[in-house]
């Protein structure tokens, strides 16, 4: 049996999905639970129903589209990813894994394959941290890494709680019902663009992910003394923005000091209050993202940043406090799935290489409830989270074909 992915069908659906955006093409902005997100979800559900998959959604909007196997009670196999997109993003991050997963399932069915284990296509809610401040919200909840108290505790930028936002979006079931049964799945495989340059540079078709980096994010709030930009003498100032600026540079030097390319640190958000040109900032809030595949190295960077905060606070006479949003351990992918991906590549004559993922993915949390693997495809220049993010139809087709073969093997 050879599953033949339909490149035109897959490309057409990716093009259509990209039109659900709150920004004009080529940018994609698709924030969770917005009307745009809900219309994109409705489109995906229509495709799943056209593919005769049975669709259900849980209380946070995670979607499960099932191709029931001949042994419907056996632990199932799953694939999937996300369709939410950060502001001013591209059209392939996440969507390749969702529509590529659907295409892999259709290709298997069209090749006459009959799975013993059911195969689920999953769409995870809010993989991006944009609205609720924490990444992988849906997969955290279904893997039990976040409990139902998140419903009231997490609020979006608009001040509305997760519970209010999900109810408005039509997801009213209790979050207590979201966690998966421990034997729900025997394997999970996610197809995703690499979001880095290594595969393209090496001219390799497929990346076989061996580990996913340990992400952490925190809010650092700096409070100084405001005042009139003209009247307050420089020697009398406790400028909250300049203190935060020093801390931001401290994040960079703390990450660089680790000496490993696998350590990264980013200050992606900086909110200055009151934000007037002629007012000395009295408060500045930074959002800081620090990652490494090595947990001890990642935590050493966090400690260096805390030390920088303490030193800056005392020297500049400001108050600095840090709130941890998440600090997750890394994960290793399942050796048997790594091998299945490599063998599928060999059988199709695709080149492949093992690699780590510095981006986090829903696979990071699915690995807590099932043996997990990831298939990467190259993206042009390694660019991602930008409108010029691009993966070729050939690369996407190769990724979906390998995924189909791996799903077939895991579901027998």
**Residue 22 in contact with residue 36, Cβ under 8 Å?**
yes
From the list Mn ion, ligand HGY, none, pick the one residue 407 interacts with, judged by a Cβ distance below 5 to 8 Å according to partner type: none
- Min dist. Cβ of residue 385 to ligand HGY (A): 7
Closest alpha carbon to 69 in 1, 117, 26: 117
Residues 214-273 that bind Mn ion (CB under 5 A): none
From the list Mn ion, ligand HGY, none, pick the one residue 342 interacts with, judged by a Cβ distance below 5 to 8 Å according to partner type: none
Q: Which of 165, 359, 403, 404 binds ligand HGY (CB under 6 A)?
A: 359
Tell me which residue of 86, 109, 82 sits closest to 97, measured CA to CA.
82
Q: Chain centroid to CA 289: how far?
A: 13
- Burial of residue 219 (CB within 10 Å: 0-12, 13-18, 19+) is middle
Q: Residue 135 binds which one of ligand HGY, Mn ion, none, with CB within 5 to 8 A depending on kind?
A: ligand HGY
Number of residues engaging ligand HGY in binding (CB under 6 A): 5
* Partner whose binding site includes residue 194, from ligand HGY, Mn ion, none (CB under 5 to 8 Å by kind): none
How far is the C-alpha of 322 from the C-alpha of 311, rounded, in Å? 14
CB of 24 to ligand HGY, least distance (A): 22
Bridge partners for 214 per DSSP: 292
Q: What is the CA angle 27-124-65, rounded to 5?
A: 110
Q: How far is CA 324 from CA 133, 206, 297, in A?
A: 11, 35, 17
- Residue 14: phi and psi, rounded to 5, are -65, -40
Q: Which of 33, 132, 171, 360 binds ligand HGY (CB under 6 A)?
A: 360
Alpha carbon 198 to its chain's center: 19
**CB closer to ligand HGY out of 47 and 375:** 375
CB-nearer residue toward Mn ion: 89 or 108: 89
- What is the smallest separation between the CB atom of 361 and Mn ion, expressed in angstroms? 6
The one segment of 61-69, 92-100, 210-218, 373-381 that binds Mn ion by CB under 5 A: 92-100
Q: Which of residues 15-34 bind ligand HGY (CB under 6 A)?
A: none
Quick check: 94 binds Mn ion (CB under 5 A)? yes
72: tokens are 């419907």
Using CB under 6 A, which residues numbered 244 to 273 contact ligand HGY? none
Backbone region of residue 118 per phi and psi (left: phi > 0; alpha: psi in -120 to 50; beta: other values): beta
Q: Which two tokens stand for residue 324?
A: 């941890």
Using DSSP bridges, classify how beta strands 76-81 and 119-123 pair: parallel, antiparallel or unpaired: parallel
| Choices 25-33, 93-101, 137-145, 277-285 (CB under 5 A): range interacting with Mn ion | 93-101
Query: How far apart are CB 117 and ligand HGY at their closest, in Å?
Result: 29
Q: How far is the CB of 94 from ligand HGY (least distance, A)?
A: 8
- Nearest approach, Cβ of residue 96 and Mn ion (Å): 9
133 binds Mn ion (CB under 5 A): no
Which residue, 380 or 409, has its beta carbon nearer to ligand HGY? 380
Residue ranges in 127-146 that form contacts with ligand HGY under rule CB under 6 A: 127-128, 135
DSSP string covering 30-81: E-TTSHHHHHHHHHHHHHHHHTT-EEEE-TT--EEEEE--SSTTSPEEEEEE
Contacting Mn ion (CB under 5 A), which of 13, 37, 84, 93? Answer: 93
85 touches 29 (CB < 8 A) = yes
Q: Pick one of Mn ion, ligand HGY, none as the site partner of residue 360 (Cβ within 5 to 8 A by kind).
A: ligand HGY
Q: How far is 22 from 171, CA to CA, in rounded Å?
A: 22
Smallest separation, CB 123 to Mn ion (Å): 12
Query: Among residues 359 and 406, whose Cβ is nearest to ligand HGY?
Result: 359
- Shortest approach of Mn ion to residue 97 CB, angstroms? 8
Give the span between the Cα atoms of 371 and 336, in whole angstroms. 9
Site residues, Mn ion (CB under 5 A) = 93-94
Interface ranges with ligand HGY (CB under 6 A):
127-128, 135, 359-360
């Amino acid at each position: 049996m050879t599953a033949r992915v339909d490149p035109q069908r897959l490309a057409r659906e990716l093009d259509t999905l990209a039109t659900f955006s709150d920004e004009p093409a080529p940018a994609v902005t698709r924030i969770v639970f917005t009307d745009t997100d809900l219309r994109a979800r409705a489109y995906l559900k229509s495709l799943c129903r056209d593919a005769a998959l049975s669709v259900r959604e849980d209380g946070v909007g995670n979607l499960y589209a099932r191709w029931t196997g001949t042994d419907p009670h056996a632990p199932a196999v799953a694939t999937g990813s996300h369709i939410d997109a950060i502001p001013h993003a591209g059209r392939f991050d996440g969507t390749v894994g969702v529509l590529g997963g659907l295409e892999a399932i259709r290709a298997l069915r069209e090749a006459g394959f009959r799975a013993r284990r059911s195969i689920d296509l999953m769409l995870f809610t809010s993989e991006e941290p944009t609205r609720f401040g924490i990444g992988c919200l849906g997969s955290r909840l279904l893997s039990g890494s976040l409990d139902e108290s998140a419903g009231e505790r997490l609020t979006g930028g608009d001040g509305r709680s997760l519970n209010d936002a999900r109810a408005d979006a039509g997801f009213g079931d209790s979050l207590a019902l979201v966690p998966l049964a421990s034997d729900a799945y025997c394997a999970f495989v996610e197809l995703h663009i690499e979001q880095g340059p290594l595969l393209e540079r090496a001219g390799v078709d497929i990346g076989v992910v061996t580990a996913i980096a340990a992400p952490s994010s925190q809010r650092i709030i700096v409070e100084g003394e405001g005042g009139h930009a003209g009247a307050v003498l420089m020697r009398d100032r406790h400028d909250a923005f300049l203190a935060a600026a020093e801390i931001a540079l401290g994040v960079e030097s703390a990450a660089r000091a680790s000496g490993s390319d696998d350590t990264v640190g980013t200050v992606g958000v900086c909110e200055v209050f009151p934000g007037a040109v002629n007012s000395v900032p009295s408060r500045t809030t930074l959002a800081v993202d620090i990652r490494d595949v090595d947990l001890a190295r990642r935590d050493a960077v966090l400690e260096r940043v805390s030390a920088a905060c303490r030193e800056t606070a005392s020297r500049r006479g400001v108050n600095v406090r840090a709130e941890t949003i998440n600090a997750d351990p890394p994960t290793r992918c399942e050796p048997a799935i790594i091998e299945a991906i490599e063998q599928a590549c060999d059988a199709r004559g695709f080149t492949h290489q093992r690699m780590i993922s510095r981006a986090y993915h829903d696979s990071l949390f699915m690995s807590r409830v099932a043996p997990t693997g990831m298939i990467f495809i190259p993206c042009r220049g390694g660019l991602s989270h930008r409108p010029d993010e691009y993966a070729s139809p050939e690369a996407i087709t190769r990724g979906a074909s390998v995924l189909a073969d791996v799903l077939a093997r895991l579901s027998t």
